[in-house]
Amino acid sequence: MTEELELVDPQERFQEFFKTEKYRQRISQMAVAGKTSLVVDFEDLLTFDQRLAEELLEKPDEYLKHVDNAAYAQLQIEDPEYAEKKEKIYTRIVQLLEPTPLRKLGSDHILKLVMVEGIVVRSTPVRPMVMQAAFKCKGCGEITRINQKGEFLKAPFECPNPSCRRKGPFEFVQEESTFIDSQDLRVQERPEDLPPGQLPRTLHVKLSGSEIVDVARPGDHVSIVGTVRAFAHTLPRVGKLRVFVMHVDCNSIEVLGKEPETAVITPEEEEKILELAKDPWIHRKIITSIAPSIYGYDHVKETIMYLLFGGVGKTLPDITIRGEMNSLLIGDPGTAKSQLLQYVARVAPRGLYTSGRGTTAAGLTAAVIREKGGGMSLEAGALVLADKGIACIDEMDKMRPDDRVAIHEAMEQHTVSVAKGGIVATLNARTAVLAAANPALGRYEPHRTVAENISLPVTILSRFDLIFVLRDVPNKETDDKMSEHILQIHKTGVSPVESPIPLDLLRKYISYSKSVKPVLTQEALQRLKDFYLAMRSASEAEGSPVAITARQLESLVRISEARARAALRKEVTAEDAEAAVAIMKRSLEEVGIDLSSYKIDIDIIMTGKPKSVRDKLQTVLSTLMAMEKDTGIVEKAALLNELETGYKIPRGEAERLLGQLLREGTIYEPREGYLKKT
């Protein structure tokens, strides 16, 4: 029996496979679409002939040729005219049974067919590669064609013309040679597959053929089927190295879509998810399930819930409005900020955690890298890799200011633009940002404004939807519960609070919810409008601070959409709007209060100075300028007296305001004790 099996020509077997209804249709469609490649599902092949499929995995070089020839033979039957035009057909095998993890790829896989999944971090431009080179003998003009393999162009050994037989020289004839498009990719492990503390592995992938080059861009998640090859670098005058470098010759490439890998949800899990969503207390449950080992901080966990679910982005012809939220936690040391961030990076369907000190602008956005060949190529950074996910940035205040600027665009426009070394590109970075920062003075000083408390520029503060201050204030009752909670964890090694939704299910719940696109109802719209107008009208009175801007209104919409999405609801109810208003009020009260007039003042976040301080600075400046007209140079003591008697500004405060103006460079001291406007 075995001998008979051996006699079956694989090519004939493949052709029988292509005679099935599904593939005859695909082959006839190829001619209509003008394509040169045919997609073959590996599973179909496996059900058709298991042995053939296994041989294909074991000896891809030999069997892929058989598949190509069989497909071409079948095309000659289906559409002989089209077959004459095309000399060859490429079959692209997709969807092997299971992907090989990048870190498991080793010497056992050489010359086998594998499927790998990962993120494209770098791609070269598409370049033509010669497949069959034509050489002309300089002596007799005879043309020789040689099929090319490997990295270098091979010339013929001698002229085939019997009367010439020269050993050279030969000239390469471009018009007579055949070329094919080629491109190199660098694929890296997905962040979610990384064992903690490991460097991500990368793999070199070579693509050739017009149908598969330029399919994937940096930042795309791809699934690649190809043959693993090893290649040794040659050193001049020494020969080949003993250690080889592995790469994959790509047979097919599929972009897995920008959506985070929805962990495959089984029908039972879907039932559980829908069951959960029916619970009227679902929000409470999710909040309790977020980082259950961290005590308290319900409002922060609520923010994290909104951040994980996210609002709905709108794309209009002229502008796009982001759906992802950004939040900032400012907190005293030891308030579990980093733990919360690490947790969020774990639970988000696609989450990345970076810490401010070791992070550069290129690492966050995109780096332009010079290649060995001399060209430039783009490498995607953290915000691009976390596209449609969450980027957690810890210690944001410790980042260098010029690196922090890189986040501005990503936070508001959700793109990353690069113009360096001749590369001008815009990459998608639809990422929600959760950042943590320490107060500038080590601890949060309640009697100073937010801008003075945080060493972050105002431009970045205004891009956060919600900002919360985690303060560590001694309080007998909470301290008692907190210490009990922490010691209990250390004693038993498990969290004292039972999480109502297990982590895996919560992650799948979040993935599942992304398909729900909630719409505002009229009542919800009215609630948000009322709140916005009430806050604006409070600032209509002449000289009172601006309480809220349109940016906060958009934030409110995002929060209420996220809350509706958390319950898998199709519409945003008035209750969602109320919750959004409540948490926004809390955020504004914590950070946007002008401390001298106790009015909510959004300008603290937008411009860094509350209105009252701006007014006083104006008074000081105008007084200084008036006195300067009289005396040319103003004595500091006289100015302080004038401010105290004429404008009722106490001496201490006036000194502080003068100090601020000096620091900003608006006024200067020509000599000790005297001031002048710059």
| Under 8 Å between Cβ of 218 and 380 | yes
Calculate mean pLDDT across residues 4-18.
73
CA 109/CA 101 separation, integer angstroms: 12
Q: What letter represents residue 126's amino acid?
A: V
What is the distance between the terminal CA atoms of the chain, rounded to a whole angstrom?
100
pLDDT attached to residue 598 = 43
CA 247/CA 457 separation, integer angstroms: 45
Cis peptide before 162 (omega within 30 of 0): no
Entry pTM: 0.67
Which residues, in sequence order, are CB contacts of 505 under 8 Å at separation 6+? 269, 272, 273, 276
1: pLDDT strictly greater than 50: no
198-227: per-residue pLDDT in tens? 788 888 999 888 788 888 877 778 889 999
More confident residue, 385 or 145: 145
3 state DSSP class of 218: coil
Place of tokens 């890799």: 385
CA neighbor of 389 nearest in space, from 436, 426, 353: 353
More confident residue, 573 or 413: 573
457-497: per-residue pLDDT in tens? 777 777 888 888 887 888 888 889 888 888 988 888 887 77
Angle CA 576–581–584, to nearest 5: 125
| Under 8 Å between Cβ of 400 and 359 | no
Report DSSP letters for 281-342, one per residue. THHHHHHHHSSTTS---HHHHHHHHHHHH----EE-SS-EE----EEEEEE-TTSSHHHHHH
The encoded tokens of residue 647 equal 């404008």
CA 249/CA 399 separation, integer angstroms: 41
The secondary structure element, H or E, covering residue 221 is strand 221-231
Mean pLDDT (the chain) is 81
pLDDT class of 3 with cuts at 50, 70, 90: very low
Least confident range of 35-49, 117-131, 468-482, 629-643: 629-643
Place of tokens 């033509």: 128
CA neighbor of 303 nearest in space, from 331, 326, 274: 326
2: pLDDT strictly greater than 50: no
| Under 8 Å between Cβ of 201 and 189 | yes
pLDDT attached to residue 542 = 45
pLDDT attached to residue 228 = 92
By percentage, how much of the chain surpasses pLDDT 90?
3
pLDDT attached to residue 101 = 87
Radius of gyration of the chain (CA): 33
| Under 8 Å between Cβ of 313 and 413 | no
pLDDT attached to residue 119 = 84
Nearest 5°: phi and psi at 180?
-145, 150
180: pLDDT strictly greater than 60: yes
Cα–Cα distance list, 459 to 183, 375, 411, 604 (Å): 41, 36, 11, 11
More confident residue, 115 or 500: 115
pLDDT class of 544 with cuts at 50, 70, 90: very low
pLDDT attached to residue 522 = 92
Pairing assessment for the beta strands 326-331 and 245-255 based on DSSP bridges: unpaired
Calculate mean pLDDT across residues 507-536.
86
CA 454/CA 634 separation, integer angstroms: 34
5: pLDDT strictly greater than 70: no
Least confident range of 157-161, 261-265, 299-303, 670-674: 261-265
Cα–Cα distance list, 511 to 6, 33, 269, 636 (Å): 49, 36, 12, 64
Q: Which domains does the chain have, with CATH numbers?
A: 2-94 (3.30.1640.10), 102-255 (2.40.50.140), 267-515 (3.40.50.300), 611-677 (1.10.10.10)
pLDDT attached to residue 652 = 77
pLDDT attached to residue 547 = 53
Number of helices (H), then strands (E), belonging to the chain: the values are 25, 29
CA 264/CA 259 separation, integer angstroms: 13
CA 38/CA 94 separation, integer angstroms: 10
Calculate mean pLDDT across residues 583-588.
82
pLDDT class of 54 with cuts at 50, 70, 90: confident
Least confident range of 1-10, 501-510, 625-634: 1-10
